[in-house]
Amino acid sequence: MMNTDHLFLINSDESTGSKALNESLWKSASALKPGNVHEFSADESWLYTGAIANEQIIDNVLKNFSEIITKAITGSDGFCLFPLWDTILNHVIACVALLAIYLLSTLLTFIVYYYGHKLGINIETDHRENLFSKLQKQSFKFFDNNKTGHLVSRMTNDLMDIGEISHHSPEDLFIAFMTILDAFFVMFQINWQ
């Protein structure tokens, strides 16, 4: 049995080598597939002609060899010179997809933090203005009965906490809900029973 991938056939006395390929020697050759047999006629052969023809046949062999390499890289015609090429290509695609997911995640995280903190600051500002206007309307007796530091603490720290909670609570609830939903989805995929 002859183990070959491609066959370069130089026909010295015939226009086609199809008769020779019907012999029992060639019947078992794996190269006898369409696109794997490269025939050169007698006028293209370097065995029977001069220097110019020699150059021409080498150019033809290189051209056919470049077609073989192109088929091997692209995987066309079911032939692949590099058996792991598809696996490597799939890993590259997976890496690019993962990079895109991380970039999208980074962008969405930035948007959530930027607009979330902006929302929290706006809520805090509105509450602070409302509280300040209410404090302005209080009597002197109110200020005599309440400590000034306690009132200032309420207007700064407590309102800041309210702003942070108003920003982070919806985000945390959404993340918790999606995490639980994803966990159920994964568990269902593993074993639905």
pLDDT per residue, tens digit, the chain (193 aa), is 556 666 666 666 655 556 666 666 666 666 566 667 767 666 655 555 566 666 776 777 777 766 766 666 665 555 555 555 566 667 778 888 889 999 999 998 888 888 888 888 888 888 888 988 988 888 888 888 988 888 888 788 888 888 788 778 888 888 899 999 999 998 888 887 7
Q: How far is CA 117 from the centre of its chain?
A: 32
Strands (E), 44-139: none
Q: What is the pTM of this model?
A: 0.41
Q: Are 20 and 47 in contact (CB under 8 A)?
A: no
Output the CA torsion 168→173→177→178 (10° steps): -20
In terms of phi and psi (left: phi > 0; alpha: psi -120 to 50; beta: otherwise), the region of 138 is beta
The number of CA neighbours under 13 Å toward the Cβ of 98 is 6
Strands 7-10 and 37-40 turn out to be parallel
